[in-house]
Structure 1
Amino acid sequence: MAKDFPVPPVVFNPSTPTHRRHPIPGTGASPPAFAPPRPSTSSAANPLPFMSFDIGPAPSSSSPPLFTGPIGMGNGASFEDEPPLLEELGINTRQIWRKTLSILHPLRSADPSLHADADLSGPFLFLLSFGLFQLLAGKFHFGIVLGWVTVASLFLYFVFSMLSGGRRGDLDLYRCVSLVGYCMLPMVIFSAVSLFLPRGGGLIFGVGMAFVLWSTRVCTRLLAELASSGDEHRGLIAYACWLVYMLFSLLVIF
């Protein structure tokens, strides 16, 4: 015996359209019409919330612009007010050129006041040029050159400390490295000239000795002027400088 279940009444909205109804076979009754579900506007029912485009009101003409100049610059600033890149890096090209000219003349004494302000930009340029000329000769000496200059600067600084008894005047390790590097300019010229000289002859040894004496003379004068009590030991200073630049000349010859 089948059990009857109570069915709740269905209320239809007359304002919504109804679908076509077909009679249920065997009973003659038509099924209820269901209205199609209305699309929900809530964010929970919207599977793609990022697809909703809400266009706001247009900005007024009185609103300030987003960018008033280049990125990272305030109002009223421009690229003309920025200092040059070399000046920001602490590279004074005019001073480097004046120091180079003071050493370039072999018969004129270099002005010690120019080298009182030490820098490493010019020495690095000279050492790089020396290594490039050696590379043209088939020798890869970049690391050797940098290492020898560092050791030579420490050697001269130690010699001055021993001779002066701690009274080094204006000569410190940084200024000593700068002087040794700037006095490498005759060695750079010798490295370039050696490309056109025959190897193994006496000519290249004579030319190399002339450039060694040039570097020794300039470096000795600058070191003696910048260090206190340098004139008392000028001969020992010259011998130490001669040993340093003789090593670089042998690096070029051999």
Structure 2
Amino acid sequence: MSYEPGSDGFFSANYEQGGQQYGGYDQFDQQYGGYGGQQGGYDPYAQQPYGGYAQSPMVPSGHPPMMTPQDAGPSQQNVNDNYDGGFDDEPPLLEELGINFDHITKKTLAVLNPFSVTDSSIINETDLAGPLCFCLALGGTLLLGGKVHFGYIYGIGGIGVLGLYMLLNMMSTNGVSIGCVASIIGYCILPMVGLSAVSLILSLQGLIGTVLSVLIVGWCSLSASKLFVCGLDMDSQQLLVAYPCGLLYAVFALLTVF
């Protein structure tokens, strides 16, 4: 590369001569195998000895083959065979949740009429839908009278259920579940709901209120003891069962009166 002074006082470089003397890119490619030369250059479509294409790249002609789904495996076929389809054969939602309105009605009628004959299979069921509604009704009627006793109702009821559960398991030979005890105690609280509704109309702190409270407590304890005796085959022990039930419902009566 040479520098020649120009007319404007600056040196200009002669690139063409330098490229010819020292070898431009074209000569370098021809000597050392550049991309543009033929000596050792890389041709992607040429035959390569190791791993290259033996021919020019094959371009698929026509449409590609269509993918078809494979046959279902044995596990998937078994699942399809077990599934019948439709919702007609499924049980109702209330039955799956254990809520049977027919049994709730029969238990309620047995509480309202303690001298009726009740099926023992219905008594032994663990039904808590009716007791929950009756406890909420008792708390709601007391709330209308300005008494917020929801905590007392559930607390006293829970302690009473636990005590009667231990007592009945010691007295009976068949045994009883705690859910069955809670169901019967909750159903037999229904007459107490009527007493709390009467307290909204007239005061229960007089003679009339005392007599009415005693009658309601006797009604609740008689219904509960009758259901326990019928379900556990304790015919000769109804008075022994009625006494602790009467003590429990007497506490609910005190909450209603005072």
Shorter chain as normaliser: what TM range? 0.5 to 0.7
Does the 8 Å CA contact 1:197/1:203 hold for their aligned counterparts?
no
Question: Is 1:160 paired with 2:160?
Answer: no
Could you list the per-position Cα deviations for residues 137-166 of structure 1 after superposition, in whole angstroms to 9, with x for gaps in the alignment? 1111112111111111111112123334xx
Give the Cα separation in 1 of the matches to 2:120 and 2:143.
32
Please tell me whether Structure 1 or Structure 2 has the larger radius of gyration of its CA atoms. 2
State TM-score, norm by structure 2: 0.63
Name the CA shift for 1:6/1:178 in 2 (closer, same or farther; >3 Å).
Answer: farther
Aligned to 1:200: 205
Question: Is 1:135 paired with 2:143?
Answer: yes
Among 169, 185, 193, which residue is 1:188 paired with? 193
Name the % identity: 38
Aligned to 1:178: 183
Give the Cα separation in 2 of the matches to 1:108 and 1:132.
29
Which residue identity is paired with 1:246? A
Give the Cα separation in 1 of the matches to 2:152 and 2:214.
21
Q: Whose helix proportion is higher, 1 or 2?
A: 2
Could you list the per-position Cα deviations for residues 185-238 of structure 1 after superposition, in whole angstroms to 9, with x for gaps in the alignment? 11112111221122421111111111111111111111122225x334332211
Give the Cα separation in 1 of the matches to 2:220 and 2:168.
18
Among 230, 236, 239, which residue is 2:240 paired with? 236
Give the Cα separation in 2 of the matches to 1:246 and 1:6.
121
Name the CA shift for 1:190/1:7 in 2 (closer, same or farther; >3 Å).
Answer: farther
Aligned to 1:248: 252
Aligned to 1:116: 124
SS in 2 for 1:152: helix
Give the Cα separation in 1 of the matches to 2:194 and 2:116.
17
Which residue identity is paired with 2:205? G
Aligned to 1:94: 102
**RMSD of aligned alpha carbons:** 2.5
Give the Cα separation in 2 of the matches to 1:184 and 1:139.
18
Which residue identity is paired with 1:240? P
Aligned to 2:76: none
Shift of residue 81 of structure 1? 6.7
Give the Cα separation in 1 of the matches to 2:209 and 2:202.
6
Uncovered stretches (5+) of structure 1, i.e. residues with no partner: 9-73
State TM-score, norm by structure 1: 0.64
